Structure 1
Amino acid sequence: MRLTDWQLAFEDYLSAEKPNASSGFAATLLGGPTLAVDTGLAIYHNAYLSRLQDVLRHDFSAVLYWLGDDEFAALTAAYVRRYPSVHYSLRWLGERFPTFILEHLVAEQSAPLAELARLEWVFTLAFDAPQGKPLTLNDMTLLPPQAWPVLQVSLAPSVQRVPCHFNSVALWRASKDESKFPGSQALDSAQTCLVWRYQRVCHYRSLEPAEASALAGMATTGWNFAELCAELAVTYAEGAPLQAVTWLKQWIQEGLLERRAA
Structure 2
Amino acid sequence: MENLKQLQEDFQRFLLTHDHGMDDQVIGDERVDARTRLELYGDSYWLRLMEALEDTYPGLHTLLGDEEFLRAGRVYIDAHPSSYRSIRWFGDRMAEFMRDNTPWSGETILGEMAELEWARTLVFDAAEAPVVGEEDMASVPPQTWGELTFTLHPSVHRLDLEWNVNAIRREVEKDEEPPAPEKGEYPVPWLLWRKSDYQTWWRSMDVDEAVAFDTLAEGGNFASISESILEWVDAENAPLRVAGMLKRWLNDGLISELVTSNRE
Answer yes or no: same fold by TM over 0.5: yes
Deviations 1:107-166, CA, capped at 9 Å, x for gaps:
663421011100000011111111223221221122222222221113211111111122
What's the counterpart of residue 3 of structure 1? 4
What pairs up with 1:33-182 in 2 under 5 angstroms?
34-106=31-103, 109-182=106-179
What corresponds to 1:21 in structure 2? Answer: 20
Code of the aligned partner of 1:236 = V
Shift in Å at residue 225 of structure 1? 1.7
Provide the secondary structure at the position in 2 that maps to 1:236: coil
What is the letter of the counterpart of residue 67 of structure 2?
A: D
**TM superposition shift of 1:227:** 3.1
Work out the CA distance in 1 between the residues paired with 2:9 and 2:183.
45
Higher helix share: 1
CA RMSD, 1 decimal:
2.1
Q: Secondary structure at the match of 1:146?
A: helix
Q: Kindly provide the CA deviation profile for residues 177-202 of structure 1, in whole angstroms up to 9, marking residues without a partner as x.
A: 33333333321111121111111221
Q: Distance in 1 between matches of 2:152 and 2:189?
A: 15
Give secondary structure in 2 for the equivalent of 1:157: coil
2:20 alignment partner AA? A
- The 1-side partners of 2:228 and 2:71 are apart by 49
Deviation at 1:4, TM superposition (A): 3.3
Greater displacement, 65-74 / 2-11: 2-11
Label 1:233 to 1:74 Cα distance change in 2 as closer, same or farther (>3 A).
closer
| Structure 2 counterpart of 1:256, from 222, 245, 254 | 254
- How has the CA–CA distance of structure 1 residues 146 and 80 changed in structure 2, closer, same or farther, with 3 Å as cutoff? same
**For the structure 1 residues 20 and 108, does the alpha-carbon distance in structure 2 shift closer, same or farther, using more than 3 Å as the test?**
closer
Matched AA of 1:259? E
What is the TM-score with the length of structure 2 in the denominator? 0.89
Per mean C-alpha deviation after superposition, the further-off stretch among 122-131 and 169-178 is 169-178
- 8 Å CA contact 1:135, 1:255 repeated in 2: yes
Letter matched to residue 213 of structure 1? V
Asked if the contact 2:171/2:177 (under 8 Å) is kept, the reply is yes
2:240 equivalent to 1:242: yes
Q: Is the Cα contact below 8 Å between 1:166 and 1:187 reproduced in 2? A: yes
Shift of 1:20: 6.0
Amino acid at match of 1:194: L
Letter in 2 for 1:158: S
Shift of 1:231: 4.0
Query: Given residue 10 of structure 1, which amino acid in structure 2 is its aligned partner?
Result: F
Structure 1's unaligned 5+ residue stretches are none
Contact 1:66 1:181 in 2 (8 A): no
1:241 CA displacement: 3.0
Q: Distance between the aligned counterparts of 1:231 and 1:29, measured in 2?
A: 65
Deviation sequence 1:55-89 (CA, Å, 0-9, x none): 11001111111112221111111101100000101
State the SS of the aligned residue for 1:194: strand
Q: In structure 2, do the counterparts of structure 1 residues 230 and 162 end up closer, same or farther at CA, with 3 Å as the change threshold?
A: closer
> Aligned partners of 2:39 and 2:214: how far apart in 1?
51
Change (3 A) 1:85 1:231: closer
Contact in 1 for aligned 2:211/2:228 (Cα 8 Å): no
Q: Aligned pair in 2 of structure 1 residues 187, 27: CA closer, same or farther (>3 Å)? A: same
SS of the equivalent of 1:154 reads: strand
Matched, 1:224 2:221: yes
